[in-house]
């Protein structure tokens, strides 16, 4: 038995995440059906607006909610976020206007923007061993990939015997089950017996909102993540936004081929997740992430090349596998890097990274979505490839002089030796 499976808190928190993700996946399908019922041919606009609201909530509300719940125990924050999500999901079948969809989606995604970084920071506390934590993050990534692959299938099976509104009930039930698992996980006992170190709580609300991003900017080890987020967003955007156009428009294939192309991306990501712990032991987190960013840029450059002539099925599917591999190398490694280079400010940094990564998605989604109409598909993908290249170079330059965790070196930041933070908090660093 793997040592991680003997951790009673993790073995209860992990199912909470899996069930919560399943609920979110079902809600995505149900939301598309609800948008069509309310708006008909304008459903794409309604759904697009709802997804934009989701991204804005992630970018703007994550740091605000973190500032408001800083002093609260993680258990209460997680359960409270799940309760809000249960309520909003349960209300969605009763809406009669698109504005109600927008309001409820904003509330639900604000709760998710509170839950996700808090959950990530809690796992870092629950699993203190670095190697076991890497496995825990890999397991979390597997859950995300499996959700993306299986949620449409589960929704399709449910719709064979149930009305579409029932999907919202399953969503609410998933969030309720998540809350119950968190409540029974033992995390509350950990909050009481070994509370996390808290950052200095002085300053205005605005200061607390910006604390995480200021920490990331001040530390070379974390600053590179801001560049890496752009590389991930560029690669992901072309897959999520461009697949339908490539498959149906250029290849003339149907919805099944669209699903298979997205599955190729998911399979590349899922397969790589299993290899990341070994890669981290051999090469270290920062080399793995820079290599992933370089691979993502290569995939975008290849996509740019065949966008001029139109893709062949093997080229598209192969490139999507490569992009899945690249994004998994980065996405699985980011939490490990934050865990290694933070202490009392860990929750703030997880929240800041959650917010900035989605800000990068807002940029790249806009390029992938609007770029083809303005400058052509190949040129738009070329812009994303240039962003990926710039992000790779920026991250590599940031991390040239960063040492391994807990190995301080003069003039180089580490979890225990950050000159900016040391100057402000000598008692806690």
Distance of CA 407 to the CA centre of its chain: 29
- What is the DSSP code (8-state) at residue 412? B
The CA distance from 186 to 331, in Å, is 27
| Other CB atoms within 10 A of residue 294 CB | 20
Question: What are φ and ψ of residue 395, in 5° steps?
Answer: -65, -45
> If DSSP codes are grouped into helix, strand and coil, which group holds residue 193?
helix
Q: How many CA atoms lie within 13 A of 259 on its CB side?
A: 8
Cβ atoms of residues 61 and 70 within 8 Å = no
| Other CB atoms within 10 A of residue 129 CB | 12
Hey, what are 184's tokens? 């029974």
Instruction: Tell which phi-psi region holds residue 406, choosing left (phi > 0), alpha (psi between -120 and 50) or beta.
Output: left
Specify whether domain 210-429 bears CATH 1.10.3080.10.
no
Q: Which residues pair with 412 in a beta bridge?
A: 409
The third-level CATH classification (topology) of the domain covering 1-191 is Growth Hormone; Chain: A; (1.20.1250)
Domain boundaries, the chain: 1-191, 210-429
- In order along its 429 residues, the chain shows pLDDT tens digits of 577 888 888 998 999 988 888 888 788 778 777 877 887 767 767 766 777 788 888 898 988 898 888 888 889 999 999 999 999 999 988 888 888 888 988 998 899 889 989 988 888 888 888 888 888 888 888 888 777 777 767 777 777 778 878 888 888 999 999 999 999 988 888 777 666 655 555 566 677 778 889 999 999 889 999 999 999 999 999 998 888 888 888 888 877 788 788 889 989 998 999 999 999 999 999 999 999 999 999 999 999 999 988 888 899 999 999 999 999 999 999 999 998 888 878 888 999 999 999 999 989 988 988 888 889 989 999 999 999 999 999 999 999 876 655 433 333 343 333 333 333 333 333
Tokens 């699903």, residue located: 259
The CA distance from 70 to 348, in Å, is 9
Cβ atoms of residues 325 and 295 within 8 Å = yes
Fold match between domain 1-191 and domain 210-429: yes
| Continuous H helices in 70-127 | 74-91, 98-126
| Other CB atoms within 10 A of residue 350 CB | 27
Considering only CA atoms, which of 421, 405, 418, 399 is closest in space to residue 340?
405
The reported pTM is 0.81
Q: How many CA atoms lie within 13 A of 237 on its CB side?
A: 32
Cβ atoms of residues 24 and 172 within 8 Å = no
């Amino acid at each position: 038995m793997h040592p991680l499976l003997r951790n009673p808190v993790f073995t209860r928190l992990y199912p909470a995440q899996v069930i919560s993700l399943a609920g979110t996946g079902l809600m995505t399908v149900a939301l598309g059906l609800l948008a069509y019922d309310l708006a008909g041919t304008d459903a794409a606009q309604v759904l697009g607006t709802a997804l934009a609201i989701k991204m804005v909530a992630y970018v703007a509300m994550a740091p605000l909610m973190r500032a408001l719940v800083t002093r609260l125990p993680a258990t209460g924050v997680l359960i409270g976020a799940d309760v809000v999500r249960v309520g909003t999901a349960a209300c969605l079948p009763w809406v009669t206007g698109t504005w109600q969809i927008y309001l409820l989606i904003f509330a639900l995604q604000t709760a998710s923007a509170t839950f996700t970084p808090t959950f990530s920071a809690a796992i870092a506390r629950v699993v203190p061993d670095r190697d076991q934590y890497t496995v825990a993050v890999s397991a979390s990534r597997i859950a995300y990939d499996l959700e993306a692959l299986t949620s449409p299938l589960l929704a399709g099976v449910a719709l064979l015997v149930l009305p579409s509104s029932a999907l919202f009930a399953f969503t609410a039930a998933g969030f309720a089950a998540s809350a119950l698992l968190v409540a029974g996980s033992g995390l509350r006992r950990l909050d009481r017996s070994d509370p996390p170190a808290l950052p200095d709580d002085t300053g205005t609300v605005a200061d607390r909102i910006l604390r995480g991003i200021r920490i990331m900017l001040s530390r070379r080890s974390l600053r590179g993540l801001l560049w890496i987020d752009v590389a991930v967003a560029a690669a992901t955007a072309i897959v999520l936004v461009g697949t339908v156009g490539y498959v149906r428009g250029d290849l003339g294939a149907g919805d099944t081929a669209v699903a298979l192309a997205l599955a190729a991306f998911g399979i590349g990501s899922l397969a790589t997740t299993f290899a990341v712990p070994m890669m981290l032991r051999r090469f270290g987190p920062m080399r793995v992430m820079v290599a992933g960013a370089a691979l993502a840029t290569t995939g975008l450059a290849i996509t740019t090349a065949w966008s001029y002539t139109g893709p062949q099925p093997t080229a598209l599917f192969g490139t999507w596998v490569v992009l899945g591999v690249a994004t998994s190398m980065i996405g699985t490694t980011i939490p490990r890097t934050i865990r290694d280079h933070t202490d009392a400010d860990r929750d703030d940094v997880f929240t800041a990274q959650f917010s900035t990564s989605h800000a990068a998605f807002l940029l790249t989604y806009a390029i992938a979505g609007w770029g083809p109409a303005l400058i052509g598909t190949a040129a738009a993908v070329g812009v994303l490839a240039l962003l990926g290249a710039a992000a790779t170079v920026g991250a590599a330059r940031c991390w040239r002089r960063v040492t391994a965790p807990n190995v301080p070196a003069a003039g180089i930041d580490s979890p225990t030796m950050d000159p900016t933070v040391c100057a402000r908090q000598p008692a806690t660093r």
